[in-house]
Structure 1
Amino acid sequence: MPRINQLDAHVVNKIAAGEVIERPASIVKELMENSLDALATRIEVDIVKGGSELIRIVDNGEGIHPDDMLLAVSSHATSKIKDADDLFHIHTMGFRGEAVASIASVSRLHIRSRQPDADTGRELEVRSGQIGEVKPCGCPVGTRMEITQLFGNTPVRRKFMKTIGTEFAHISEQFSRIALANPRLHAVLRHNGKTVYELPASENLLDRIKMLNGTELTDKLIWVESEAGPCRLWGYVGHPSLSRSNRKLQYLFLNNRWIQDRSLQHALSEAYRGLLMVGRHPVAFLYLEVPPETVDVNVHPTKTEVRFEDSQQLYRLLLSTLRTKFLSVDLNSNMSLPRTEEGQPDVTEAEQNETREQLLNWANEQVKSWQPEPSRGHSYSPRELAAVLERTAPFQPYPELANSSSLSAKPVTDGETPSSQSVPATGLSKAIQVLDCYLITETEEGMTIIDQHALHERILYEQFRERVLNSAVESQKLLVPLPIEMSNREVEVLLDNQDVLTQLGFGIADFGKNTVLLDRYPVMLAKANMTNLIHDVAEELDRPGKKPDRRDLIDHLLHTMSCRAAIKAGQRLKPEEISSLLEQRYLFHDTHHCPHGRPTALTLSRADLDKQFGRLG
């Protein structure tokens, strides 16, 4: 067995850096938190090539004392705590004294800092753990840290870095978390000289959320607030109509620190149980304030996971707060939801007039879109109903698809008898709709129950897929491009995949200020909500893990697009729409399952029905 060796400090720092400094985003997080602990009110972050060439953090905080410059780059040296008891009364973002030393051991670090009462500043350079000499310099009050040659002395670590776009996406996410946790902070993020975010200090959290995620999202947020003993919960949660296919827009903050906690995420999901479709996740910006002594933040190298003294109390607080709030608001309304936030100024008369005008406009729109339901006073006999259906002209929910040359059904020539495989002569084009979700029809086998959304989703997927493979996707050009507000990451993902989107029939252009312009879209998706669809496409393109090849990526996007454009559960269909949907079922080989694998239909045989009714004898 090999002998045990005592590792030198340089190797120890490199090992520690592997835990703390995972990628460039880790450096941005650690240094921005140091700036906050130094009481900075303005932080500027400059990034070049995703952080692989340059990371610069400049703040206007209290600066570093000249005599502490060398200690600042030493391991386990900190101004945040003095003894073990302080670990249970943490009021700062950092406390271990590892971050700067870890950064210095795997990069070239240049520090300039000056305190308010000092005439000059001090500068220090560390190259891969080799500490230079502290020198006087001229600089403004605060601290500037500049990192270059990241992982230059550890080529293996550098090899594991992802693309520039991916690394900057992680940086942008860390920046957003800190900006959301500290709305009174003036924060600036630049990439390759271009300003990505310029977030002025604000007393209003909603303004900060709006600048990061756009107006369309903030218009559907609901203010929540409650207390339980020494614990306080407050923030915003999304209306059930505002959901995402992943949890990226679920922000949980504990004492102004972004955290991940499965228990709290489960409570959030439970609060929305029954309000969201399967596979959808709520949007939330929630803030917890608890006494520092009741939580242990020293359980994870990056301090993103914590241990609560009483996690069940917080679970109940979050769950009950949201459920109580949902019971007090009209979740069926399309109106912008009322929001109040502690510390906001009183509403002025001008704002009241504007709100009144918005309500009147909304009411007018509701009146215009209202249609009387069919009279229920007359019921058709089966013979009368059959006669009505036979007189009804075929109708396509998406008329342009019926005339598509890409459909697999062959045209019928004069004198030719239609194939029995096209639409079976079983009366299947006639069905009744129940619960505005299922279609029930009689077949030769017995009775078939069809999920209208799953079937239509499969039909759209097959039609869209065939057109994409044949490069025959037709696009509708908009006379006036549609602006869509998104997060910076979503914009970047869409612009990086413009070739794929073009192949699918979309036209996307950058409009600046976290906005893209949609100037054309596939004709097949004319009835879809384009804003929601583009958000879902961006989420699909930004899935974590290994990026799929182009063919798989397009297939994933087709799943998303067909699901978004398909008839929804709860949508009432006209008889001609039902007939059209059922007839299209036989235009493709596999319509037994939707693209996500759910069955489109279930069949109950005559024998099954007889058995249920005791007719077996």
Structure 2
Amino acid sequence: MPHIHRLSDLLVNQIAAGEVVERPASVLKEILENAVDAGARAIEVQLEQGGVRRIRVADDGCGIARDELALALERHATSKIATLDDLERVGTMGFRGEALAAIAAVARTGITSRAEGASHAWRIEAGREPEPAALDQGTVVDVADLYYNTPARRKFLKTESTEFAHCDDMFRRVALARPDIGLQLAHNGRVIHRLPPSPPAARVAALMGDDFLQHAREVQADAGILRLAGFASLPAYSRASRDAQYFFVNGRFVRDKLLAHAVREAYADILHGARHPAYVLFLELDPAGVDVNVHPAKIEVRFRESRAVHQFVFHAVRRTLAESGAGRAAELHAPAAIGVGAGPAASPASGTVPQGGFSSALPPLSVPTAAHHPASRSWPPADARQGRLAMESASRAYFDFAAGARDSGGASLPDRPGEIQSGPRPAPTETATGEAPPLGYALGQLHGIYILAQNAAGLVLVDMHAAHERILYEKLKTVIDGRPAVQRLLIPAVFSVGAKDMAAAEEGTEVLAGMGFEIAAAGPQELVVRSVPALLASAPVAELVRELLQELREFPATEVVTARRNELLATMACHGAVRANRQLTLPEMNALLRDMEATERADQCNHGRPTWTQLSLAELDRFFMRGQ
């Protein structure tokens, strides 16, 4: 039988290095965070061979006193916490006191530092006594030959370019979190980033690109103890990977499933397919409300009130993205690939959309309500076919009414879209402010698919089916929002679940009831479902509830039911929207444009595709080489 014995300090540090020092980027992260905690106002990073050969970080922070240099290289030695209360309210980037000891165990590490008020600097290397050195105030940490004494670990490192890419991403995280600090990154003698202290928007533009900032909206939300700020990209700037997603909690970059889920749900209605949004978001809350001591690399966190945090982030981002660019189309001067570019300085929607043109004579789009179905008193009906027929009827009524308004009050307008009139064209009705509406006025129809309109900025092209689909979808959601209608099951559904699902069902009883589910235990590992939301009555109950419970286990504020409901509503809206080759009159087209201006998320259809684009006069002039 093997004997129990103490591990040597070197082996303990090397084991810790396996958790903390995964690659050169991990070393850079720990040293940069120490520099930030030291109050540095300028940090300079030099890398060689992707950081494998050398990582040198110099800062102008408070420095380390001569008598504390040796302690800095020991495990569990730190100046950042002293009591349990400090640990529960961590306000610094580092606090474990393991990083430098772990790094020194697998690389040649030297520290040169000069504390405030000291006559000169001191330098120390692992296993040696401090020696006098020359340095202005601050600290220089020099790490060379990573894994020189553990060659097996070194074999797992990737190519120089790959390791540098990881270091560059780590540098970006710190630079985004602290725009008030000047930073510089050089690789193999070549300066890659030189970032002076700057406002947050300027730092984001420097690292993410002006293109991101032009296609992003500024997020600002405050709920007392919670505050969210930053930038979230419009769907036009979506990407194939998650490489442009940065989320910070109290200045610390994190990869948190709860926060990622909240943002993803905020984009659920407007992002196409498997695309991913880009964002730089900063969440601030009381340090006591978040536990950062749950991961060796401090990359994950745990929230005390996870449901409240999830819902706050979800609604803040969703509300920001809900503003439609259609409501301010004429203000968009920069060309966008699919017509929904918006700068970060865009003002929030006022909540009122001026009415003008032909739509002033038209009522809002008629959507069947509970009064149309006295038997069920709920909308939409559980029968999906009945719902589709109702939507198609509503769509026809909408355009029939528009046509009626044209016949009664617009006799001087052309009978067919695009028809050229003889004589002067009547001036369209202006808005209450005396200005033309953002999407302008319709000129005609192209191949029965697109609407051509003129606004103050130039030419607007609208996909009429996609735009009408979004309008119907948003109106449907408005009609059924609130406490969902409940459908009791004639034969309750009984099915087996695991222990975790049973626990989730018991803990989430109130949440489930609020969604319209009546669920109870039928045995040690069985659940019985007696009622479900009426809108989802035709869905497979066992599959839906299992998915719901899995979401509840991972995310206290699940959106599964809302997502399922919205999928059905999106299908109904798609079937009810005006089809291609439907000839619309000018009043009908103008009515559609006005509704787009008044509809949230009108820039994309229910599948995330764009609904309109803007061609400015400057773009048209360049194309036809006017003035050249």
Partner of 1:303: 298
How far is 1:31 from its partner? 0.2
TM-score, L = length of structure 1:
0.55
Asked if residue 168 in structure 1 is aligned to residue 173 in structure 2, the reply is no
How far is 1:264 from its partner? 1.2
Letter in 1 for 2:444: P
CA contact (8 A) 1:239 1:331 kept: no
Q: Select 2:269's aligned residue among 260, 266, 274.
A: 274
CA contact (8 A) 2:214 2:344 kept: no
Distance 1:24 1:246 in 2: 23
Q: Select 2:445's aligned residue among 359, 369, 373.
A: 373
1:490-535 CA distance string (max 9 Å, x none): xxxxxxxxxxxxxxxxxxxxxxxxxxxxxxxxxxxxxxxxxxxxxx
How far is 1:86 from its partner? 1.3
Partner of 1:608: none
Distance 1:91 1:13 in 2: 25
CA contact (8 A) 2:234 2:321 kept: no
Asked if residue 238 in structure 1 is aligned to residue 243 in structure 2, the reply is no
Indicate how the Cα distance of structure 1 residues 372 and 64 shifts in structure 2: closer, same or farther if over 3 A, else same: same
Distance 2:35 2:321 in 1: 38
Q: Select 1:339's aligned residue among 339, 344, 350.
A: 344
Letter in 2 for 1:195: V
Partner of 2:183: 187
1:396-446 CA distance string (max 9 Å, x none): xxxxxxxxxxxxxxxxxxxxxxxxxxxxxxxxxxxxx99579xxxxxxxxx
Higher relative contact order (CA 8 A, sep 6+): 2
Indicate how the Cα distance of structure 1 residues 235 and 13 shifts in structure 2: closer, same or farther if over 3 A, else same: same
1:174 counterpart SS class: helix
Partner of 2:200: 205
Q: Select 2:136's aligned residue among 116, 140, 153.
A: 140
CA contact (8 A) 2:13 2:75 kept: yes
Letter in 2 for 1:306: V
1:143 counterpart SS class: strand
How far is 1:213 from its partner? 2.0
Indicate how the Cα distance of structure 1 residues 573 and 22 shifts in structure 2: closer, same or farther if over 3 A, else same: farther
Identity %: 41
Asked if residue 252 in structure 1 is aligned to residue 247 in structure 2, the reply is yes
Distance 1:374 1:10 in 2: 75
Output aligned runs, 1:139-158, within 5 Å.
139-158=135-154
Partner of 2:42: 42
How far is 1:573 from its partner? 9.7
CA contact (8 A) 1:19 1:301 kept: yes
CA contact (8 A) 1:60 1:142 kept: yes
Output aligned runs, 1:18-29, within 5 Å.
18-29=18-29
1:223-244 CA distance string (max 9 Å, x none): 1111223111111111121101
1:532-557 CA distance string (max 9 Å, x none): xxxxxxxxxxxxxxxxxxxxxxxxxx
1:161-189 CA distance string (max 9 Å, x none): 10001000000000000000001110100
Partner of 1:66: 66
Indicate how the Cα distance of structure 1 residues 374 and 284 shifts in structure 2: closer, same or farther if over 3 A, else same: closer
CA contact (8 A) 1:226 1:233 kept: yes
CA contact (8 A) 1:107 1:151 kept: yes
How far is 1:341 from its partner? 10
Letter in 2 for 1:278: G
2:325 counterpart SS class: coil
CA contact (8 A) 2:62 2:116 kept: yes
Q: Select 1:320's aligned residue among 315, 339, 351.
A: 315
Letter in 2 for 1:268: V
Letter in 1 for 2:220: E
Gaps of 5+ in 2: 334-340, 348-435, 449-462, 468-577, 583-628
Indicate how the Cα distance of structure 1 residues 434 and 296 shifts in structure 2: closer, same or farther if over 3 A, else same: closer
Partner of 1:6: 6
Indicate how the Cα distance of structure 1 residues 286 and 312 shifts in structure 2: closer, same or farther if over 3 A, else same: same
1:241 counterpart SS class: helix
Output aligned runs, 1:392-403, within 5 Å.
none
How far is 1:324 from its partner? 2.0
Letter in 2 for 1:296: D
Distance 1:242 1:84 in 2: 44
Letter in 2 for 1:339: P
1:165-219 CA distance string (max 9 Å, x none): 10000000000000000011101000000011001101x2111111112211111
Distance 1:166 1:250 in 2: 19
Gaps of 5+ in 1: 343-362, 377-432, 438-569, 575-617
1:127-186 CA distance string (max 9 Å, x none): xxxx11211111111000111121000000111110001000000000000000001110
CA contact (8 A) 1:240 1:331 kept: no
Distance 2:581 2:282 in 1: 43
Letter in 2 for 1:228: A
CA contact (8 A) 2:262 2:313 kept: yes
Indicate how the Cα distance of structure 1 residues 179 and 571 shifts in structure 2: closer, same or farther if over 3 A, else same: farther
Distance 1:341 1:301 in 2: 40
Letter in 2 for 1:106: V
Letter in 1 for 2:241: N
Asked if residue 177 in structure 1 is aligned to residue 173 in structure 2, the reply is yes
Distance 1:248 1:188 in 2: 22
CA contact (8 A) 1:436 1:572 kept: no
How far is 1:375 from its partner? 8.5
CA contact (8 A) 2:213 2:344 kept: no
Moved over 4 A (4+): 331-336, 433-437, 570-574
How far is 1:282 from its partner? 1.0
Letter in 1 for 2:71: L
Distance 2:252 2:153 in 1: 28
User: After alignment, is 321-330 or 22-31 more displaced?
Assistant: 321-330
Letter in 2 for 1:337: A
How far is 1:338 from its partner? 4.6
Indicate how the Cα distance of structure 1 residues 98 and 572 shifts in structure 2: closer, same or farther if over 3 A, else same: farther
